[in-house]
Amino acid sequence: MCSVVLLVSALLQFTLLTQGQSISPLTTPHPIQATNSTVVITATATLSSSAILNNETWILSWKLNKTQVAQVGYAPYPIVSRLDEGFNRITVSAASSSASSFTTQLTIAQLKAEEDGYEVQLYGAGVEKQSLNLTIKNCNVSLSNGVIVDATSRIFNSPGTFACSNRGDLFYSNSTMLTSSDTTCLESAEWSGQDNLQCWTAPNVTLNSSSIEGNKLTVIEGNDLNLTCNYDNVVPAGNNSRFYISGENLRRARTNKLSKGNQFILSSLQRSDNNKVVSCQAVTPYTDVYPTSGKSSEYELDVLYFAKQNTAPTFLWYTNQTGKSNVVFRSNPNSVFVSLTKHGQPVANDESMTINSNPDDKQTFVFSRTQVTSSDNGTYTLTVQSSNKDIFPDNVQIIFHIIVADEPPPTPGLSLGAIIGISCGGAVVIICVAVCVICKWRRGSKKKSKGISFCVHYTLV
């Protein structure tokens, strides 16, 4: 009976001494440790007021994978005790952090891959045991956002080089370009500088429209053209598109920025818009850095229109000479010859009846006479039709006028009398200059003549 009382009394005393004592959870600087790195595991032990007042000794034990490796105690100051000489990669420490607590650390150097998953424990009498499992990894060479690392080794402190798996360019998410691709495997099993690193690429951009035919955007004059800019392979993401339309005289703004996927409408296209070039571009941080990237293929506007029914200029011909006049008009697609009449009657042509095509949709019909007569005077009607009658089924008449004059006006020039007068005057000037030169020579001669010297003087009027 006395022994039972003594046991109960001891248990009560132990409970009073340990009441209020605790161990904080174990912590490491990083959740994952690199192979061959050093990890420091930290905990804080808090003593009870009774243990402090009574200077009680409190012993805590460190275990690694269920093997005790060290002890720390409070008696009343922290002490360190090593249990096994075989743990040469492990050190332990303890130091007071306050009047009622102390901090202890277990340091393991040169972590091995096979130690991945090892349990570390810290426990003592009367307190809840604290533990954690080590996570030991090699640095990963395949990162997110297309970033890879070229390295011969993946353990702690190994050098490496950043690269892109998709041949992109290395940027940080804040649009800062990576200045150096060199990196090192850190204790955290991460590569230095890998945070927020991304591989940026030029987007694959496609200009879509139901009017695309080959490399052309075909539309009938006066109609609208709907365009959509689509793109993928975008890192970082983009949400806008920009449309480009060439030509200084275009009636719209030449660049337009819209939300991605929205339609851009070219309204009421005219023949003056024909052959202008249209393209679009993805608006992303990458294209902001490289403005010429992320563009679609270029398409040429093919505005279909027919020749206008109008009156061509009046041509002036002269009798008994050759007469030739070019009747010029525009058409897309080309127009073909139907008929040539004068006052409703068919007219022959000394040239071919073929309509010649030139750049910029310009077409020319040449009307000529080898020898013009007065009967060529009059009003002519050239009738043409479109080579695409499905779109432009109606013919168009182009009216031009020929005025025949009797003879061409004289070429401005000098009369025969004027020509003779000028020739005679020139001869007189030459003679006068020669006489003056002779007289000057004679006056300067050192040999004096006995006779009276004279010189003839001419006055030019």
Task: For 293-357, give the DSSP string.
Answer: SSBPPPEEEEEEB-----EEEEEEEETTS-EEEEEEEE-BS-EEEEEEEETTEE---SS-SPPEE
* β-sheet bridge partners, residue 61: 71, 123
The angle formed by the CA atoms of residues 275, 279 and 285, to the nearest 5 degrees, is 160
CB-based contact 105:40 (threshold 8 Å): yes
Distance, CA of 118 to CA of 134 (rounded, Å): 5
Phi, psi of 426, rounded to the nearest 5 degrees: -65, -40
Q: Note the pLDDT of residue 410.
A: 67
pLDDT given at position 399:
94
Amino acid 86: pLDDT: 73
Query: What pLDDT is recorded for position 99?
Result: 76
CB count within 10 Å of CB 292 equals 8
What is the structure's pLDDT at 58? 85
For residue 327, give the amino acid letter: V
Taking the C-alpha atoms of residue 124 and residue 62, their distance in angstroms, rounded to an integer, is 9
Rounded to 5 degrees, what angle do the CA atoms 49, 51, 54 make? 105
In the structure encoding, which two tokens stand for residue 163, read together? 């690269």
Q: Are 363 and 325 in contact (CB under 8 A)?
A: no
pLDDT per residue as tens, the chain (461 positions): 444 333 333 333 444 444 679 999 999 999 999 999 999 999 999 988 776 667 778 889 999 998 999 999 876 666 777 766 678 899 999 888 777 888 999 999 999 999 999 999 999 988 999 999 999 999 999 999 899 999 999 999 999 999 999 888 999 988 899 999 999 999 999 999 999 999 998 889 999 999 999 999 999 999 999 999 888 867 777 788 888 888 433 333 345 666 667 778 888 999 989 999 998 888 888 888 888 899 999 999 999 999 988 777 899 999 999 999 999 999 999 999 999 999 889 999 998 888 988 777 889 999 999 999 999 999 999 999 999 999 999 999 999 999 999 977 666 554 544 444 445 455 544 454 444 444 444 454 444 433 333 232 222 22
pLDDT at residue 449, as a whole number = 38
Any idea which residue has 């003593």 for tokens? 47
Structural domains of the chain sorted by starting position, each given as residue range(s) with its CATH number in brackets: 19-137 (2.60.40.10), 147-199 (no CATH), 204-304 (2.60.40.10), 311-405 (2.60.40.10)
DSSP H helix total and E strand total for the chain: 4, 33
Answer yes or no: are the C-beta atoms of 173 and 200 closer than 8 Å.
Answer: no
Rounded Cα distance, 97 and 95, in Å: 6
Answer yes or no: are the C-beta atoms of 70 and 78 closer than 8 Å: no
Q: What is the pTM of this model?
A: 0.62
